Amino acid sequence: MIKKALDSLKEGNFVLVYDGDGREEETDFIIASQFVTPKSIRRMRKEGGGLICTTVYHPIAKKLGLPFLSTLYEKASKNYPVFQRLVPDRFPYDARSSFSVTINHRENYTGITDIDRALTASEFGKFVAYLQWNNIGNEKAQEMFGTNFRAPGHIHLLNTSSHLLENRKGHTELATALMIMAGLAPSATICEMMSDEGTAKRKEDVMEYAKKSGLIFLKGKEIIEAWRIWEKELE
């Protein structure tokens, strides 16, 4: 099933990923950022309903100097004491949030339309691919980033943990691992699936949706197992 999922991602399709029982217990739409279109955004918005975000692999985040948002709040708390009261210290399933900054592509108008968000996500994916396969220094990479994107914006960037799928096993890491194993730019655009009752869509309902829609459904543990095998094959 993993191979089918990787092949599907390489064709620009969605896959559905459930993180795991006892964690968020949520399923996300996942697509390679480089292949995002307005139609992709529309589907996530209408059939997912959660927050549309784009992942950033740790080495890329480090090159671009992209901090975790919680770190920014911590640094800003000296000037804005309210941030001291907003410390994210009560996560029931994780040690920290993966949220980084929000961005828009500089050619966006408002940034929120399907067209604008697709432009931001896809161009970021292509930019990440360029950084991944070319020897670009940090300063030059950050200059290029600022030339093409601005902040704040309407696409939430999510930084992966430093050691992928070791100390954090969230959708940010699971989706990015899939991109890497598929040989794509290490950035995925993701969105949680919500139910009409206002809760996360049940795993069983998502699996039924996947069958009807012809989409591949994966559990987090399947991706983690495949990632471990993939890493060993690189040794």
The domain that holds 205 is classified in CATH as: 3.90.870.10
For the record, the structure tokens of 189 come out as 């655009």
pLDDT of amino acid 58: 96
Distance CA 148, CA 106 (A): 6
DSSP string computed for 152-164: EEEEEEEEPPSST
Low-confidence ranges of the chain (pLDDT < 50): none
Catalytic residue numbers, as ranges: 28, 53, 93, 104, 154, 192
pLDDT of amino acid 235: 65
Q: In this predicted model, what pLDDT tens digit does every residue of 46-100 receive, in sequence order?
A: 999 999 999 999 999 999 999 999 899 999 999 999 988 887 776 766 767 899 9
For the record, the structure tokens of 67 come out as 């901090």
Distance CA 213, CA 208 (A): 9
Query: How many independent structural domains does the chain possess?
Result: 1
Query: Which residue type occupies 187?
Result: S
Residue showing tokens 């692999």: 57
Nearest to 43 by CA among 139, 103, 114, 105: 114
For the record, the structure tokens of 41 come out as 């955004």
pLDDT of amino acid 67: 95
Cβ atoms within 10 A of the Cβ of 52, count? 24
What residue numbers bound the domain in which 163 lies? Answer: 2-234
Cβ atoms within 10 A of the Cβ of 49, count? 18
